[in-house]
Structure 1
Amino acid sequence: MARPAKIEDSALLERLSDVFREVGYEAASLAVLSEASGLKKASLYHRFPGGKEQMAHEVMARAEAWLSEHILAPLKSGGAPEVRIRAMIRSVDAFYSGGRQACLLNMLSSPRADQGPFANLIKNAFEAWIEALSAVLTDAGFDEDTARFRAERAIALLQGSLVVSRGMGTTRPFQNCLANLERELLTSHRTGGAA
């Protein structure tokens, strides 16, 4: 009879996710992952025979499932565009702990983004998010090119605000971004850029 696991899978993946978000893929040594998980290295290898890469893939799969349930599904749900965008903003705020946590997709990116082990997963996640948000903006009355431009810009603003928040040691840039995001996305007349 197998011994019960010291830590449930969901809690283990949460701890591993925290490590990858904090230090990135390259710096997440097995020693660091072992300490954060509370498991010995041998136990980690037993749970993840593929090592650190398998751990990161499973963390990514969990993040993708969360993105699908909490971001993409509400954006695709129908209803008023502003309601769907507000739901997305609330979920983004929760996922990034109000700006205290770094973007997992960014932290798992390789310095040569097109060659990293997670390049396709990261690209697909961003693309799915941009497409879903673009569709909401099309529903709000923007043409497809403008909707796509605004969706890409919104994701860039969100991700950039996380980087700035982390660099400055304050969540203020992220919170300011969230506070203005609905207006950024839905205001019809803007000066400069695609409108």
Structure 2
Amino acid sequence: MPAPKIDKARAIAAIAELFREQGYHGTSYAQIMKASGLGKGSFYNYFPAGKVDIAKAVLKQIDCWFEENIFAPLDTNDVPEKVFCKMFIAVNTYFDSGQRICLFGAFALYDAREPFSSEIKSYFQRWIEAITTYLQNQGLSEPESRHLAQCSMVAIQGGLVMAQATDDTNVFTQATSEAKNMMLKALK
């Protein structure tokens, strides 16, 4: 009887969580295969270049989620309260209110930065650009919009680090709430 077919998207999501827990270099092929349910044949069929292909697939899956849930809502003319409420609900959901690290951030800070530097840079730049463009479309100047977008990213990423470091998710939810309020205040 043939082995059941493993859903690639689910396998990638499982591997993403493994990278969050173990780090890129700290994750072994055996752990990847166990967590994903992939056998050796399926593994190399899906990821012919091995671990680099796996990590790129993980980052691509995360990027697609952010495109749909963060960047697309910012590419509207909806009222700021609705747009930023939606964005920060998605941020809090995705990062499990600060209990789940940002894999792009983790890769940027540790030993996986070099092979994925373009993906990491693109992720952060796209998020900052999406917020900047939305704020400009709402009437703020480019410098003020960019400053607010960068401050929001610092609040989100810093909030994640502090929530992890202090084991206090309230730090993250407070940081994201303040970032949202800062942008809404600037638009009034």
Would the TM-score normalized by the shorter structure come out above 0.5? yes
Work out the CA distance in 1 between the residues paired with 2:141 and 2:84: 17
Aligned residues of 2:159 and 2:176 also touching (Cα < 8 A): no
Q: CA deviation at 1:43?
A: 4.4
- Find the residue that maps to 1:188 and give its secondary structure: helix
Is 1:160 the counterpart of 2:158? The answer is yes
Could you tell me which amino acid in structure 1 is paired with residue 120 of structure 2? I
In 1, Cα distance between equivalents of 2:127 and 2:20? 19
Between the aligned partners of 1:116 and 1:110, the Cα distance in structure 2 is: 10
Mapped partners of 1:75, 1:4: distance in 2: 43
Q: Distance in 2 between matches of 1:93 and 1:187?
A: 20
Rounded to whole Å, the distance in 1 between the matches of 2:123 and 2:158 is 17
- One-letter code aligned to 2:60: A
Q: How many pairs align?
A: 187
The answer on 1:144 being equivalent to 2:142 is yes
Deviation at 1:61, TM superposition (A): 0.9
User: How far apart, in 2, do the equivalents of 1:93 and 1:111 lie?
Assistant: 24
The reply on whether 1:81 has 2:80 as its aligned counterpart is yes
Note the C-alpha offset of 1:23: 2.2
Partner of 2:181: 183
Q: Which residue of 1 is the match for residue 34 of structure 2?
A: 35
Partner of residue 126 from structure 2, selected from 125, 128, 153: 128
1:106-159 superposed Cα distances (whole Å, 9 cap, x missing partner): 12226478x611101111111111011012222333211011011011011101
Q: 1:135 to 1:17 in 2, by over 3 A?
A: same
Q: In structure 1, what is the Cα distance between the partners aligned to 2:31 and 2:107? A: 16
* CA distance in 2 between partners of 1:76 and 1:109 (Å): 26
Q: Is residue 91 from structure 1 mapped to residue 90 from structure 2 by the alignment? A: yes
Q: Which residue in 2 is equivalent to 1:118?
A: 116
TM-score by length of 2: 0.89
Identity %, equivalent residues: 30
Partner of 2:172: 174
8 Å CA contact 1:75, 1:132 repeated in 2 = yes
Greater CA deviation, 172-181 or 62-71? 172-181
Check conservation: 1:161, 1:174, Cα contact below 8 A.
yes
- The answer to whether the Cα contact below 8 Å between 1:31 and 1:41 also exists between their aligned partners in 2 is no
* RMSD (Å), alpha carbons: 2.2
CA shift at 1:44, angstroms? 2.5
Post-superposition Cα deviations, 1:46-69, rounded to whole Å, max 9, x if no partner, equal: 432211111110011111111111
Q: Unaligned 5+ residue runs, structure 1? A: 190-195
Instruction: Name the CA shift for 1:4/1:34 in 2 (closer, same or farther; >3 Å).
Output: closer
Q: Is the 8 A contact 2:76 2:134 kept in 1?
A: no
For the residue of structure 1 that corresponds to 2:24, the secondary structure is helix
